[in-house]
Structure 1
């Protein structure tokens, strides 16, 4: 037993001593199967969850490897109950298998008839079955494949789905790797997806998830539906596919609030799919109306509930989820696992940073004191108003101005949650503002000007959280956020992680009002990035001024 940085506790939590020399290596190994729950300065708390273990198993890690990791870094012996729990949980994955027979009938089977009997008598599973073939095999209604996997996961028996996929209508696609090539990890991600047939690829923002999508399209070479967060993302996908593949403009259609095209490769927005007309989702049938061979879910952690529902009925289609984080603030990670597929591939963020594929980043939390009047207003406010008051403190405008002055000449983003606050700071600093109300054409024009360096600073709302390619952005100032959203923190840092042409380091600032709910939520938001090895340097306003003075 080593004197490592981990203490494994009997409640399946793991404590990580952040200042231990092996802390970085232990953190990377833990991220394969455990989730960070709390990240104070000295001790981080992880929890070993069933879903984390099953995702690890689906990605090729077994119980022996997981226990070896814990033994390698643990300070004390691992409790026997934890060992047994890990072995039992990992062993549950794949005890049930969904397959097709020679005639194409959908079956659930197991070499453990006792386990099969346990699940088929469940009142929510029994209606999904047609008949018993023998004690080891039941026939399943074809439409019930997705719902069956959801219910089995809830019962603690995640099924291995080997029932195969419809090929869809063929449409040959090839990558055109003239002045570029898929990186090794991107090629490995495509290969892992192809072997599995469906599932999720987890890569940091800026690591080229779109290229993984292009590689998957080329591998499948069939009609493809790509679901994205907004129209700007749809057009960026289109540009990348035209550049990286032999697809022509006539092959690619946009299905959004502005255009309704269905072509061999169709790019649709989540907004249009969930738009209602007369109380019904008027466009959701797009998911099933064509004989798609592949459906790609960009930013799968944001997949809306109505799309989940229909995806349950599309289990015969190959499905690829792309994301920087499997964290969902609505707790539906299990639905991603069962309906899109398990995690097939991921790469630690710091590994890609070390290789130069994403930019190194330094993170700062700047703590600001409310003035006396605002502090009294905060104290007297209802709970639901306190976050807005703390988040929109006017002092943040002056600090943002100071940060921009220090990073003069660098491409910078100011990101926030509240539109009135963003309007104030855009006016005060005399810089352009992009929100959800900004017309798509204006957004594209401003983003293009920013990429070209004609605009140095943009103020952006949460519309810039997702799938916006701004390669030279190197400074981000977060002035307010969506409460404690870990996924948002990851996305916002991701906006500045593209490698810079001059090798410049990225700087991520979060402005937080001290001793308020703004500070509490900031600590929760930072959990995911702490899991990836990013440490926030805590600064007061005075510390920031002293730091800048020393730097100059």
Structure 2
């Protein structure tokens, strides 16, 4: 059945009633970006970066063109076929190689090299010309020249190799890798060849990204620096390394605000690396990058990489770099920096395929639209500041009645209520007599509550955005999102991830987003849906008065 319309502006219209919806949307996401998600027709866009990632992951331009021709209602514009070939051919037309400690930029096309030499932005990094196809580069500029070249539309294939780092034997134990985890590890490592050793592995929360990272460690067998989002995640990484490898505890260090151990395997937070006394002071903990002879750096939740860590990463291109993420989307638009400095996408496995195998939960996604409380509706319409309007709609007190009905519908099911605004969460916590976890709570107290939730002693937790990342709550089967960060697609991915881990009993979860009808919040919710639809999830939109219909909610 033909269900695509490929347009001359590089957009692809996809009719969602296709019986092959899951398969086609998964393939589209390998080489294009989802832009709009109205109910019946979704819009994807082919971009240079999406093409370069596709090329780096091993896709061929002819395979993409054949796919589009097979599923397109009409003939594909010749212009699009040429653009696909041009963009994909650009990845690999420039290479960085190293021989006898000399870094060289090589082009297959002498005209492109001539254009590069004329660029004022690139001239500080170019040394002696070797011939019409190559120039010498200073080793310290390996990252900077890749950043500049990608801005000019020329991605670089970096095959200059990596330092081995200090050796550390790491043997996996007590773990059976799933097929896709083994494939992800090999796609990154590539048998130790120069073409491997840096890049991104894109897998959903609950699919074992941490295990994949540990699997990479066991391949390269060297001292490793792991950077992650918070102290809870640091402890989870340490626990996983201890239980799934033969590495003794005395070789694993934690580097956080509370403790600063530098050991052969060191796990640190982004926050401590970017801490400084004032905005003009140095980042004193950035020295961690040079404290040991690291052979591998793992960036957990790489889509959250702070700008100062980007800058440091530009200087350590001779060290293997692995980025782990559920989404390539960055709210600051710096996806190209991730590509050039950490590496291209090496492996991606569609969420819905993981669900079909039972490796993550089957999730039903709902947006429930709630009327604005009558006592604030006039105040809302009189507001001129858009941020204030968004917050007022987000904190709509009418949402508590909806939460009450959802909790009744899913009685005794482990449930998370997730939100952005602390006052709103405190009100919900008090109303339902449920524990509240925010950034103000000590890490010890947070861990106690997380553990009680895991053990089933607590069935309901109210959590702020501190629980967006790297929290292992495998039995959470219902998530109720009451407020969020404007149109953040990455946040939507992380919050959905709280209920994706496979369940011991019925492998089914529900993800609800409560949105004030006809408000700024509803406008932004459309952007948040983009990520879920891109992963193949159907997003049901309901009126609040329908939520007591259990048959509808579980259809």
2:423 to 413, 420, 424: 420
For the residues of structure 1 that align with 2:500 and 2:20, how far apart are their CA atoms?
25
Superposed CA deviations along residues 502-521 of structure 1, whole A, max 9, x for unmatched, are 03310000000000011111
Q: Cα distance, 1:206 vs. partner? A: 0.3
TM-score for both structures, normalised by structure 1: 0.98
What is the aligned partner in structure 2 of residue 470 from structure 1?
473
Q: Does 1:175 align with 2:172?
A: yes
Q: Tell me the residue number matched to 1:329.
A: 331
Partner in structure 1 of residue 548 of structure 2: 545
Give the superposed CA RMSD.
1.3
Which residue in the other structure is 1:30 paired with?
28
1-side partners of 2:493 and 2:256: how far apart? 26
Do the aligned residues in 1 keep the contact of 2:228 with 2:300 (CA within 8 Å)?
Answer: yes
1:243-258 correspondence runs (5 A): 243-258=243-258
1:353 counterpart residue number? 355
CA distance in 2, matches of 1:472, 1:372: 37
Correspondence for 1:107: 104
* SS of the residue 2:286 aligns to: coil
Q: Which range moves more in the overlay, 532-541 or 310-319? A: 532-541
Counterpart-to-counterpart distance in 2, 1:372 and 1:397: 14
Give structure 1 stretches of 5+ with no counterpart. none
Cα distance in 2 for partners of 1:209, 1:378 equals 43
| Residue matched to 1:489 | 492
Distance 2:300 2:108 in 1: 37
1:289 Cα deviation from its structure 2 partner: 2.8
Post-superposition Cα deviations, 1:199-251, rounded to whole Å, max 9, x if no partner, equal: 00000110000000100111111110000000000000000000000011101
Give the equivalent residue in structure 1 for 2:5. 7
Deviation digits for residues 354-380 of structure 1 (CA, Å, limit 9, x no counterpart):
001000000111100013321111101
Matches within 5 A, 1:229-378: 229-278=229-278, 279-378=281-380
CA distance in 2 between partners of 1:531 and 1:338 (Å) = 24
CA distance in 1, matches of 2:83, 2:232: 46
Change (3 A) 1:549 1:81: closer
Q: Distance in 2 between matches of 1:121 and 1:525?
A: 42
Structure 1 window deviating more from structure 2 (128-137 vs 80-89): it is 128-137
Matched-pair contact (CA < 8 Å) for 1:204–1:349 = yes
Give 3-state SS (helix, strand or coil) of 2:206's partner: coil
Deviation at residue 546 of structure 1 after TM alignment: 3.2
C-alpha distance in structure 1 between counterparts of 2:553 and 2:506, whole Å: 23
Which string of whole-angstrom CA distances, capped at 9 and with x for unpartnered residues, describes residues 25-51 of structure 1? Answer: 221110100110000101100000110
Q: Are the structure 2 counterparts of residues 323 and 551 from structure 1 closer, same or farther at C-alpha, using a change threshold of 3 Å?
A: closer
Indicate conservation of the 8 Å contact 2:251/2:264, yes or no. yes
Quote the offset at 1:542 in angstroms.
1.3
In the TM superposition, what is the alpha-carbon distance from 1:134 to its structure 2 partner? 1.6
SS at 1:414's partner residue?
A: strand
Residue-by-residue CA offset, 1:316-341 (whole Å, 9 max, x unaligned): 00000000000111100000000000
Tell me which moved more, 205-214 or 21-30: 21-30
User: How far has the Cα of 1:111 moved from its partner?
Assistant: 2.6
Which shows bigger deviation, 158-167 or 14-23?
A: 14-23
The 3-state SS of whatever aligns with 1:285 is helix
Residue number in structure 2 paired with 1:404: 407
**Structure 1 residue runs of 4 or more that deviate by more than 3 Å after TM superposition:** 546-552
Deviates more, 1:450-459 or 1:284-293: 284-293
Q: Distance in 1 between matches of 2:358 and 2:181?
A: 14
Counterpart contact for 2:489–2:528, Cα < 8 Å:
yes
SS of match in other structure, 2:8: coil
Equivalent-residue separation in structure 2 for 1:550 and 1:19 (angstroms): 20
Q: Provide closer, same or farther for how the CA distance between residues 345 and 4 of structure 1 changes in structure 2, counting only shifts above 3 A.
A: same
Tell me if the contact between 1:365 and 1:538 (Cα under 8 Å) persists in the aligned partners. yes
Q: How does 1:57-76 map to 2 (within 5 A)?
A: 57-76=55-74
What's 2:137 paired with? 140
| Secondary structure class of the residue paired with 1:32 | helix
> How far does residue 548 in structure 1 lie from its aligned partner after superposition?
6.3
Q: By how many angstroms is 1:536 displaced?
A: 1.4
Higher deviation after alignment, 212-221 or 127-136: 127-136
How many residues are paired up?
Answer: 547
1:381-396 aligned at under 5 Å gives the runs 381=383, 382-396=385-399
Contact 1:5/1:26 (CA < 8 Å) preserved in 2? no
Is this contact kept in 2: 1:37–1:46, CA < 8 A? yes
Asked whether the 8 Å contact 2:415–2:476 carries over to 1, the reply is: yes
- Distance in 1 of aligned mates of 2:23 and 2:69: 13
Q: Distance in 1 between matches of 2:554 and 2:320?
A: 52
CA distance in 1, matches of 2:81, 2:340: 25
Deviations 1:393-419 (A, max 9, x none): 011112112111111111100000001
- Inter-partner Cα distance in structure 2 for 1:420 and 1:265: 39
Give me the whole-angstrom Cα distance separating, in 2, the residues matched to 1:244 and 1:96: 39
Pick the aligned partner of 1:443 from 442, 446, 450.
446
Does 1:87 find its partner at 2:85? yes
Separation in 1, partners of 2:288, 2:554: 55
**Structure 2 CA distance for aligned equivalents of residues 362 and 111 of structure 1:** 49
Of residues 502, 512, 517, the one that matches 1:514 is: 517
2:527 aligned residue:
524
> Contact conserved, 2:202 with 2:349, CA < 8 A, in 1?
yes
Contact residue 203 and residue 209 of structure 2 kept, 8 A: yes
**Whole-angstrom distance in 2 between the partners of 1:503 and 1:334:** 40
SS in structure 2 opposite 1:473? coil
Shift of residue 69, structure 1, vs aligned partner:
1.3
Counterpart CA distance in 1 for 2:554 and 2:13 is 36
* CA separation of 1:360 and 1:550: change in aligned 2, threshold 3 A: closer
Q: Is the 8 A contact 2:367 2:541 kept in 1?
A: yes
